[in-house]
Structure 1
Amino acid sequence: MSAVTAIRNIHELTPDPKTGISWAELEAVYLHNRTSPFQVPAPVRPEKPDYLALPEKPAESEGISFLGKWFESESAKAERHAENLRRWQQELIDVERENTLRQHRYQQQRTAWAEQYANWKFEAEEHEKRLATAQADARQQFRTDAAFFESYLAGVLAETEWPRETLVAFEVKPELSAVLLDVDLAEIEDFPDKIYGVNARGTELTEKAMTQKAVRENYARHVHGCLFRLVGIVLHTLPFDNVIVSGFTQRVSKRTGYLEDEYILSCKCSRSQMSSVNFAGLEHIDPVEALGDQPVIRKMSSTFIFQPIEPLTL
């Protein structure tokens, strides 16, 4: 499967909620955990990112041919050097943007890790206290133990692989039978804009540029597919009724000039609504249309350009 296909069709990896865990099965896991030593590993502290080296400013002689050393005119020399400087400046902008984005994501990961670690430490300490609790008390607490549900879901999400870096934060509301998720989506600038193949003879690699609309369409399918997949994962993992999932991306604010989070997609899906999906035929589903059948907030043009939105809440 090509990278483009994997990105476009990420929704095809969505599990069927109808085959997920039941309340009885999850309760058995809960009761077992309440009488067993704490076994959840501590969250792994994120590593500092590797930053790209800034490109060196080109010398005036860069790119000159052997004959050009002797015969290049002053105007040609100036034009060549100006083009080298233009490319260098663009590369510098691209590298600085990428390094800023890596630093921003690292800070988000560190913040998320610190919160997860604090929760893990709290849960480890609480678990030792709960070992003395009678099983009857545990049964009464089961359906309202948000920390257990969040820990169980976190374990599943940690094992979930994505073709592009996809960071997920969530909150479980047992009293409302709901899960809320925020997804840090990939940037459209990082999406493939070329299609690679092999020529008819099978001897050479071919490269074909994609149109900007095609790139945006792939991005739209991907972000909708990510949300669709997360809804399926949640309903497959926890026997709750509702999921609200919102996706955001980083953009340079025209107001402040800094990178800021902008929500571009938000939807609410119920178990009953998802039960109408044919999970045996996900390859026939368009995730953009599938989420459009749910309560959804989005400002997407016919050419797949997204505008910022206010996400859904409970």
Structure 2
Amino acid sequence: MAFRHRTSIRIAPGFRVNIGKRGVGLSAGTRKTPLSLHRRGQWESLNIPDAGVTYRERIAGETTRNAKAYPSLQLSTDIPDVARRIEQVRIRSVDGSIRVFDEHGQDLGEDGLQAAKSFAAESLRKALDTHMQGHSALLESFRSLHAQTPSPEQTATYLPTTFEEPAPEPPRLRKLGLIERFMSKKRGEVERQNFATLLLHREATKNWQSAKEEHEQFEAERKSAYRLCQQGDWSAITQVFEDVLEDIDWPTEGDIAVDTDELKRLFSIEVELPDIEQVPSEDVAAYKRGIGLSVKPFPQRKKQQRFCSYAHSMLFRLIGEAFTVHSDINTVLATAFKTEINDATGQADNVYLISVLVHRKQWTRLNFQNLDAVDPIIALGRFNIARSLTKMRTLIPISSEQISALGFQ
């Protein structure tokens, strides 16, 4: 009887400079700590000369960079209060808006924006430049996700991750002064403060130790999964595939369902595509005069084409990653769908767009040394595929019968 295993995998977006199993490159998140670049905008810290504003890097939600690098001839007495309060700027690609905030996250409005342009112009320009670079990288990531697909000759290998959180440093306790030594009340205050400090350090050490043990347990389970995978355990094969997905440059988040059939040596993948509105659909550029961001939205047809390209690029990458997990995987069935509200029922339905069946021998015929030259839409069309693609490269929903006709159902 065939062994079957089905699991659901959550992927997360983000970018990082990765030094990993396939060399150095731009990739997504760190394991369990993704850095995300969202279409909503980026946070940049601003520095107002002589206003006491300091740079703070925040690793959560939106990316940050130091924007402190410009000359100042202003005296502190010349700086208005609203300028002194400026801490961060938020820039949005969707509409080109620029908003500034204080350290508490309060929007400083038009007055704050004008103050930023007057007293932190260079920083604001650098923030805009950083934002445009990030937006360009985001656009490219949707187009070229397939370009880093590994060759099926490669094998997924366990690489340990280190626990980098340092142990809490020993606390610095207050020493008894001359007065405290001879006054019991003062001495008691110092002793109570030291006791409270020791309690906090003990709690911090306990939490650190717990986190370290959790990490070690997590790594032991990862290592065991890779070992069992190499032995042909199909449950472990799925776990390793999930682990491999942690290192992929996902531009968006989503769910991936995996179903395996050991007897048929089949690896089935279903991926939920993002809403088309989550795919970046605008070019951005800085004003040639003044400080601002111009936005040129893509026409609807181009948005549909970019969505189609991303769907194929994503499937291409998933197929390739699956074949590297274990040589026992002979066939991969990859299907992409999106979720839409049914007008008749009001319920969310899965609308299938692409389903492709690929055998390992067919997959090995691709030139994995030149994937930049590969169009994933054309490449996947060489295999047994169910899809409805217009001449303008937009996707039309397909039926379950079309998917069933591929076989292995």
Matched, 1:18 2:153: yes
- The alpha carbon displacement at 1:8 in A equals 1.5
Partner-residue secondary structure (3-state), 2:153? helix
Alignment of 1:297-312 (within 5 A): 297-303=386-392, 304-310=394-400, 311=403, 312=406
Matched, 1:2 2:91: no
Matched, 1:212 2:308: no
Matched, 1:250 2:385: no
Give the 3 Å change call, closer, same or farther, for CA 285–199 of structure 1 in structure 2. farther
Give the 3 Å change call, closer, same or farther, for CA 294–202 of structure 1 in structure 2. farther
Matched, 1:167 2:302: no
Counterpart of 1:288 in structure 2: which amino acid?
I
Give the 3 Å change call, closer, same or farther, for CA 284–199 of structure 1 in structure 2. farther
Alignment of 1:53-202 (within 5 A): 142-143=231-232, 145-199=233-287
Cα pair 1:227 1:246 within 8 Å, conserved: yes
Matched, 1:229 2:320: no
Cα pair 2:336 2:354 within 8 Å, conserved: yes
* In structure 1, distance between residues paired with 2:257 and 2:139: 26
Deviations 1:82-138 (A, max 9, x none): xxxxxxxxxxxxxxxxxxxxxxxxxxxxxxxxxxxxxxxxxx9xx9xxxxxxxxxx9
Partner-residue secondary structure (3-state), 2:263? helix
Correspondence for 1:294 among 380, 383, 387: 383
Give the 3 Å change call, closer, same or farther, for CA 248–313 of structure 1 in structure 2. farther
Deviations 1:189-214 (A, max 9, x none): 32222111235679653311211111
Cα pair 1:8 1:219 within 8 Å, conserved: no
- TM-score for both structures, normalised by structure 2: 0.45
**Runs of 4+ that moved beyond 4 A:** 199-204
- Counterpart of 2:370? 281
Partner-residue secondary structure (3-state), 1:164? coil
- The alpha carbon displacement at 1:142 in A equals 4.1
Cα pair 1:227 1:245 within 8 Å, conserved: yes
Give the 3 Å change call, closer, same or farther, for CA 158–176 of structure 1 in structure 2. same
* In structure 1, distance between residues paired with 2:285 and 2:371: 26
Cα pair 2:387 2:395 within 8 Å, conserved: no
Partner-residue secondary structure (3-state), 2:294? strand
Counterpart of 1:10 in structure 2: which amino acid?
L
Give the 3 Å change call, closer, same or farther, for CA 256–278 of structure 1 in structure 2. same
Partner-residue secondary structure (3-state), 2:371? helix
* In structure 1, distance between residues paired with 2:290 and 2:379: 38
- The alpha carbon displacement at 1:313 in A equals 4.6
Percent sequence identity over matched residues?
A: 23
Identify the structure with the greater helix proportion: 1
- The alpha carbon displacement at 1:288 in A equals 0.7
Counterpart of 2:397 in structure 1: which amino acid?
Q
- What is the total number of aligned residue pairs between the two structures? 200
Counterpart of 2:330 in structure 1: which amino acid?
D
* In structure 1, distance between residues paired with 2:236 and 2:267: 13
* In structure 2, distance between residues paired with 1:142 and 1:175: 16
* In structure 2, distance between residues paired with 1:313 and 1:152: 26
- TM-score for both structures, normalised by structure 1: 0.58
Counterpart of 2:151 in structure 1: which amino acid?
D
Tell me: higher relative CO, structure 1 or 2? Use CA pairs within 8 A at least 6 residues apart: 1
Cα pair 2:146 2:376 within 8 Å, conserved: yes
Cα pair 2:279 2:307 within 8 Å, conserved: yes
Deviations 1:253-290 (A, max 9, x none): 13312221111110011111111111121111111111
Cα pair 1:299 1:309 within 8 Å, conserved: no
Q: CA RMSD in A?
A: 2.6
Counterpart of 2:376 in structure 1: which amino acid?
P
* In structure 2, distance between residues paired with 1:243 and 1:149: 13
